[in-house]
Amino acid sequence: MAAKLGVIEHRFVRLPDLREAADITGASFWGLPPTYIPLRNSVFYSFAASYAEEVRASAIVGGHNKDDTAVFADVSAAFFAALEKAFRAGSPILRRGRLRIVRPLRQMRKPQVVRLASSMGVPFGLTWSCHRDGKEHCWKCAGCLSRRASFGEAGVEDPLATGGGKVT
């Protein structure tokens, strides 16, 4: 996807120690899905803020949608306001640049995001929603089921669902 969009620099960060709630022995994450990763977004946005400081960016853009806020506290407006404040407090460069965390999809439900993406020509065949490893979507996990429901509600054909789930 990054190559198709002409991304100038693409960095990979390996985070093998992040685990889903279902894989953490002895811990209780009552009320959260088994795919919940403790404070995952704080980790991801910290990497983004580090890069923003390096390149003197004034914004970090996240793609969280309204449906995410019903499940995960680390996509709430309060979380991002506090995180933005912490990044500015911890970095004179980000403070001077008035770093902002922008979430343009925050008021949209997943089907609305699918419709918007479709209207923009997003190559859905290059996207990934499955919570499991592999080369094809499992179509059984929460990510796959949500994807299927969102495309269905949006009235948009999912090329992965019709093409066996393989990312092309």
Q: Residue 92: give its domain's CATH number.
A: 3.40.50.620
Say whether pLDDT at 13 is over 80.
yes
Task: Decide the pairing of beta strands 59-61 and 100-102.
Answer: parallel
Same domain, 93 and 163: no
Q: What is the pLDDT of residue 102?
A: 97
- Segment 63-77 shows an average pLDDT of 92
Same domain, 32 and 99: yes
Q: CB atoms < 10 A from the CB of 60, how many?
A: 22
Q: What is the pLDDT of residue 166?
A: 66
| All residues at 6 or more sequence positions from 39 whose CB lies less than 8 Å from its CB, including other chains | 74
Say whether pLDDT at 165 is over 90.
no
Q: What is the pLDDT of residue 3?
A: 82
- Segment 101-110 shows an average pLDDT of 97
What spatial distance separates the first Cα and last Cα of the chain, rounded to whole Å? 10
Q: What is the pLDDT of residue 104?
A: 97
